[in-house]
Amino acid sequence: MLRRPTLAFAAVVGLALAVTGCSTTGSAQRDLAARLDDLDGVTSTTYTLTDSIFQLPVHFLKIIVATDLSAEDAQRIAHESCNPTIEISNLTVTTNDDTLAPRAVVTSQNGVDTTSCMDENELVAFSLASDVMNKLGPDYDGRFSVFLGGLDGTIPDALSVRTFASDRTRLVDALRALHNRYHGPIDFTGKWAKSGDEYLPSLPEFAAQLTDDADLDTLTPLIGRAFDLGVGDIAVNDSTLSVEITDDTAPGAEAALRAIADAAGITLTATVPQ
């Protein structure tokens, strides 16, 4: 006499089938990680799969590259990542396994449209940013978050860098170095705090959107003077400088900055936070 399987037995069988059906999940991703791991310029790769019968698989791929990654190696890595294009949920390229470590250079992608295929131009720009970080020296205590296209994706081909420094003058050093190395628009945002704690609330921000033709020799003295006078947020482009006048700003700062700006042919805008 045949007996109907119990609900418990059916659940166990269903679970076994589900696990069996997922036994090859991630094989293509593991193969890609292994192939990337063999390329020049790659220090190591880490692939992690989060999978269960209750959710779709989530694929995490971290690629740790050499700090002196060349443009040629970056191109080869990008090419291999697209050969073929496979599903990746979260893709990170970094010069340090600890992506929050000082001097780490990081680019990452995640979201519904994320795949393994990396943009060659973006990875070459990443290698350039890593070279800039090397040249800034060991006393630069921030890290670079790098991508192309501007913060909102509206500046095609812009090299976008987000960073932090405890010494605000080093932000100008970083901007100048990036502008000298990258032949295209720059979208740069840096925050600073003397304490070195980048997670403090309401840190002042230095933002720059520059074309390849921007004259930093003209802009830098004005930016440096604005720092010296203790302004808050600073925003600059090729021909304008905006500063925030706060309670900590030196008396007469606006007039002093306006005199320098007028002499240099730069339009100055000063605002007071409401």
Q: What does each C-alpha distance from 199 to 202, 223, 247 come to in angstroms? A: 9, 24, 22
What is the pLDDT, as a whole number, of residue 114?
87
| Rg of the chain over all Cα atoms, to the nearest angstrom | 24
What are the tokens at 189? 């945002």
Burial class (CB in 10 A: 0-12, 13-18, 19+), 121: middle
CA-CA distance, 204 to 226, in Å (whole number)?
Answer: 12
**10-residue mean pLDDT series, the chain (274 residues):** 44 40 71 97 96 82 98 98 95 97 94 88 96 95 88 76 94 96 94 85 92 95 95 96 95 96 96 84
What is the pLDDT, as a whole number, of residue 156?
74
Q: How many CA atoms lie within 13 A of 57 on its CB side?
A: 19
What are the structural domain ranges in the chain?
Answer: 149-274
What are the tokens at 135? 């040249």
CA-CA distance, 244 to 202, in Å (whole number)?
Answer: 13
What is the pLDDT, as a whole number, of residue 198?
83
CA-CA distance, 127 to 72, in Å (whole number)?
Answer: 9
Task: With beta carbons less than 8 A apart as the criterion, state whether 177 and 132 touch.
Answer: yes
> Which runs of consecutive H residues, i.e. helices, occur in the chain?
7-21, 27-37, 71-81, 120-136, 168-181, 216-228, 253-264
CA-CA distance, 221 to 12, in Å (whole number)?
Answer: 72
> Strands 159-165 and 144-148: what pairing?
antiparallel
What is the pLDDT, as a whole number, of residue 7?
43
Q: What is the DSSP string of 36-88?
A: HHTSTTEEEEEEEEEEETTEEEEEEEEEEE-TT--HHHHHHHHHHHTTT--B-
Nearest to 163 by CA among 186, 144, 141: 144
> Strands 105-110 and 90-94: what pairing?
antiparallel
What is the pLDDT, as a whole number, of residue 141?
93
What is the pLDDT, as a whole number, of residue 135?
96
State whether residue 247 is helix, strand or coil: coil
Residue 188 CB partners (closer than 8 Å, separation 6+): 160, 161, 163, 174, 175, 178, 206, 207, 208, 209, 210
